[in-house]
Structure 1
Amino acid sequence: MDSLEKLLDDAGTEEKIEIFCELSETYWQRSYDTSLLMSIHAYTLALNIDNKELIAKSLNMTGNAYYLMGDFTKSMDHYLQALAIREELGDSNSIASSYNNIGAVYVQMKDHQKALYYLKKAKIIFEALQDEVHLFSIMNNIGALYKENAKYDTAYQYLTEAYEIAQRTQDEDNASIALTNLGETSLSMGLLEQSLDYQNRALEISRKLGNKAMMATIYTNLGKTYLETRNYLQAFNAFHESLGLSEEVNSLPDLRENYHYLSEYYDIQGDYEQALHYYRLYASTKDSINSQEAMIRIKEMESISQAQTLQQEIALLRKDNEISNLKATRLKNTIFFLAAVSLMIILVFVVYYQKNRLKRETTRLLEEKNKQLEKANLKLQNSEKHLKELNSTKDKFFSIIGHDLRNPLNALLGFSELISGNSRDYTSEEIQRYSKIINEAAKNIHLLIENLLEWSRSQSGNIDYNPEQTELMPMVREIFKVFEIHADKKGVTLVSEIPQDIVVTADRNLLSTILRNLINNAVKFTPNGGQVRIFCEQNDSEITISIEDTGIGMSEKQLDNLFRLDSNVTMPGTSEEKGTGLGLILCKEFVDMHNGKIWAFSKPKEGSTFSFTLPLKAR
């Protein structure tokens, strides 16, 4: 099943229709609702490409799904639509399959005469084609029909032949079906031990195949057999097993049977409250199925009524014609004239009808094309929006390279040129000051390039995520060493309140990048004499790490634009340090990779606190 679903991505339209039909059949054993959904998908695609063969196949699969759900009205409607198309195409094999399906529905509707008529038509075709795979279904359905009519010997003969076909074709699904029906027939014949043997063999095959629908039917039959042998405990267990499976696959006929026999079981046990409860469920389910049967009966009666009306009209026309023939010769010319006028009216009506039908068909086609155009326009709009987002990302990327990389490079080139070309013209203090500026520019370039590379890797999906148990305190201590010189120069105190025994589950490289960027920002925006503090809080599922500074803070507007590439805010630090604006964006992406969250709290002139969470266990 999983392999079929994977094939959908690369399949063409016709292949997708075939795959959806296969999935619909596969889901017969698990979920009738999902089976119906798959067949409807196939039908929709087949209509779009106007492939009659596939339209008929998907209609037939939809009829199968409704049949299994016990909705015989809709099942018959879809089978008849499929048959009409297959007769138009002249496909004998498919026509015979439709005859078989229609016959099976009539079996369920208790119209045995029509059922036998369609099944025998199908049998003739499949025997001529020597198609044992489909002939099995015919023999099985005819056997079931004779069983319904209490002709058990004949039923047993057909079902035995069906089982032999299943063995010859090595079809375990069909073998399970035939054994189940042989078990039911044996039960009706009073052969209880033989019935149990057939049912248990069928159950073993169905359990091996994972066919829950068939298992539900078999457990119901076992329950009935155990009731006959007065083995009430085993009967009760079998009905309950069947009830759970019937509810899982949404099979109304099996639910009805189980409710009925559980009511009978509790009645035998003297638990009349439970007996009444299950009888009410049985009656409710039975009414639901009967309402479907009534719909088909009503449609048949309407068809018969229309046919009778037409015959009466034909008889009246014949009488009128006889009377007309007996009229005098002098009226013949008038009759011929009236006939000619009538013919002209009919011709005009036919022309008008054809023109109107063509107009309706053209209107329908135009509506379909308009819907297709609307879908295409929506796709184009989504593509345009995506391209704009990509273009905005590209512009931001080049803006960072063109602006933020150019400034430190200019400082680096300018001051290094001054020193290298005219070093004797400057005092040692000036050379030292220029060297510090060059060093700061080089550090900014290094940080910028490092963040740009990290961001580029994250966008292309080339960053490995390898979570492991990591001690937090040593990592914080290493990062503090990186920023100690810069912090001391600004007079900023770095404070760690991370306990020695705190261990987090994280990717060491990604976590180091997050902490490095947040601590760098905190130092950058904290003035002389300020403090940067890192601390953490832990609960049962996650740990929250916070970096707090006593810096210049941010407005609400600046907070709203944090962590966004399209509107990120970058501004100089308290000592005019430069930034790229990528640091916080990297932090958010790396925190997301850990399945965590990141946020900030800040007020102007009151400092900022950046917090993020890490799960205690790796995702």
Structure 2
Amino acid sequence: DKTTSNYIYNVKGLIYTNLNMHDSALKCFNQSLKIRKELNFTIGIATSYTNIGSIYCSLNELDSCFYYTQKAIEIFSSNNDRTGLIGSFKLMGDYYNKAKDYDNAIRYFNKSLELNKNFGDLSIQKDVFEGLKLSYQKLGNINKAFCYQELSVKINDSLSTNVYVERITHLTESLKYELQRQESELIQKQRERELSSKIKFQQSLIRLYISILFLVLLLVITVVYFYIQKYKSYKLLNLQKRQIEELNSTKDKLFSIIGHDLKNPIASIIGVAEVLNDSTITIPDDKRKQLIRSIYDVGTSTHHTLEGLLNWAKTQTNSVNVRFDNVNLSTLIDSIIRIQTPIASQKGITIENIVEKDLSAVTDTDIISTILRNLTLNAIKYSKQGGRIIISAENQNQWVVVSVKDFGVGMNYDVKNALFSSTNIKSSYGTANEKGTGLGLIICKEFIAKLGGKIWVESEIDHGSTFHFTIPNKSI
């Protein structure tokens, strides 16, 4: 921690000072000072200032020595720390000696001696006496210089005796410490052996728990895996069940169309043809024209039914091949209108193309034609006598939106939701009792999906319907 680091840096600085390694000592004292400031250790900061000032004094950098020593004295004085002031005053005396201001040096040395009376620090006394000897010597007062020299020698002898005693004490303490250390090491080794045994036992337990956990996890994963597989199988069976139901529904619808929507019209054509072919029956010209028109209408309707069945069969067998080409939509819609106009004119319906003449899209001509034919026929079927149908198209970002709008009977919410369902194929009669297969809109949805677009309807009862579909606006 920071307290320990501060202590270590300070001790290292003192060691470097005793070895006269001033630069290293200065670095350590500065590092200690930095940490003490972070800890807000006021007395420690003042002590660091004293240590740094002492190094600068040894290096004869007197301005720095005075600066740090003065800061130390200020802090020690404000905290009434006499022990700190003893060393700082002694250092300030050394400074003034080097600055050759011997009177001030004597003043600060005496301050240090005065404070030291209550502490009796012989080492400080010896250093102060040495400083005073130098001051008086430089001032030419040989008697006082000699007096302080004798005092310094006496203290030095006392210090030597003290050092000897300290060495004996130190050896005794070292021996005691060594015995304690060996005893501690034996105790520590015993504890380490016990701890090692406990750790090994705990490690064995942990390995056992991990093995058990692994087996449980493996069991859980196995159970989850089989559950997922079972769930996937269940989903697949449900999907296959729905597909089979859809196929059965489609098959039933297909047989119904073949058995009713194709059989009855063909039987009707055969019946009319027999009447026309019977030479024994006299038929007026207007009646004959009506019968021929009837054959035409039934044949046209049957053709549309067969075309729808063929297109639907293509989507079910994935045999629709998409061939992209640049298609002018306005021109294509004009051709669709020409084909549908004879059918629309029977109900007095007009079909308008409001698409811009230069609007093109990269798409499949045959598929778009089939979609537009089915939507137009659917609009004719549910338009009222004398109604209008509007076909429009516009660019919207990366899509072309094509719309077929009629003003016919419209439809409710439930009918709209079931329009494009292949499992709920229904067909209602048109405004002139036209009958269809119900496949047209489903074919449109699947063909548009082949092109990467979508289809939807907006409708309101008695206000008509608008079928919209999108096709990607690609480039080739």
1:456 aligns with 2:320: no
The one-letter amino acid of 2:427's match is T
- Secondary structure of the 2:346 match is helix
Task: Give ranges in structure 1 of 5+ residues lacking alignment.
Answer: 1-299, 310-359
Aligned counterparts of 1:308 and 1:424: Cα–Cα separation in 2: 111
Aligned with residue 397 of structure 1, among 254, 259, 263:
254
Give, in angstroms, the shift of residue 400 of structure 1. 2.2
Q: Is the 8 A contact 2:355 2:394 kept in 1?
A: no
Give, in angstroms, the shift of residue 423 of structure 1. 7.0
1:500 aligns with 2:357: yes
- 1:605–1:423 CA distance, 2 compared to 1 (3 A): farther
Q: Deviations over 1:79-135 (max 9, x none)?
A: xxxxxxxxxxxxxxxxxxxxxxxxxxxxxxxxxxxxxxxxxxxxxxxxxxxxxxxxx
Aligned with residue 304 of structure 1, among 193, 200, 203:
200
Aligned counterparts of 1:367 and 1:538: Cα–Cα separation in 2: 54
Give, in angstroms, the shift of residue 403 of structure 1. 2.3
- 1:410–1:556 CA distance, 2 compared to 1 (3 A): farther
The one-letter amino acid of 1:513's match is T
Aligned counterparts of 2:340 and 2:351: Cα–Cα separation in 1: 9
Q: Deviations over 1:144-169 (max 9, x none)?
A: xxxxxxxxxxxxxxxxxxxxxxxxxx
Q: By percentage of residues, which structure has more helix?
A: 1
Aligned with residue 344 of structure 2, among 468, 478, 487:
487
The one-letter amino acid of 1:455's match is W
The one-letter amino acid of 1:440's match is D
Give, in angstroms, the shift of residue 460 of structure 1. 0.8
Q: Is the 8 A contact 1:506 1:618 kept in 2?
A: no
- Secondary structure of the 2:403 match is strand
Q: Is the 8 A contact 1:396 1:566 kept in 2?
A: no
Give, in angstroms, the shift of residue 411 of structure 1. 2.1
Identity percentage over the alignment? 33
The one-letter amino acid of 2:276's match is I
Q: Give the alignment's Cα RMSD to 1 decimal.
A: 3.1
Aligned counterparts of 1:550 and 1:379: Cα–Cα separation in 2: 44
1:598 aligns with 2:447: no
1:406 aligns with 2:266: no
Aligned with residue 442 of structure 1, among 287, 299, 308:
299
Q: Deviations over 1:479-532 (max 9, x none)?
A: 111111122221111111111111111100000000111111111221221111
Aligned counterparts of 2:337 and 2:426: Cα–Cα separation in 1: 25
Aligned counterparts of 1:562 and 1:308: Cα–Cα separation in 2: 70
Q: Is the 8 A contact 2:458 2:465 kept in 1?
A: yes
Q: Is the 8 A contact 2:275 2:281 kept in 1?
A: no
Within 5 Å, give how 1:213-612 maps onto structure 2. Answer: 304-305=200-201, 371=227, 379-421=236-278, 424-612=281-469
Task: Give ranges in structure 2 of 5+ residues lacking alignment.
Answer: 1-195, 206-215
Aligned counterparts of 2:453 and 2:197: Cα–Cα separation in 1: 66
- Secondary structure of the 2:278 match is helix
- 1:556–1:305 CA distance, 2 compared to 1 (3 A): closer
Return the TM-score normalized by structure 2: 0.51
Q: Is the 8 A contact 1:565 1:585 kept in 2?
A: yes
- Secondary structure of the 1:490 match is coil
Aligned counterparts of 1:570 and 1:396: Cα–Cα separation in 2: 11
Aligned counterparts of 2:198 and 2:439: Cα–Cα separation in 1: 75
Aligned counterparts of 1:517 and 1:307: Cα–Cα separation in 2: 78
- 1:416–1:548 CA distance, 2 compared to 1 (3 A): same
Give, in angstroms, the shift of residue 577 of structure 1. 1.8
Aligned counterparts of 1:577 and 1:308: Cα–Cα separation in 2: 86
Q: Please say which structure displays the higher CA radius of gyration.
A: 2
Residue-pair matches, total:
268
Give, in angstroms, the shift of residue 369 of structure 1. 11
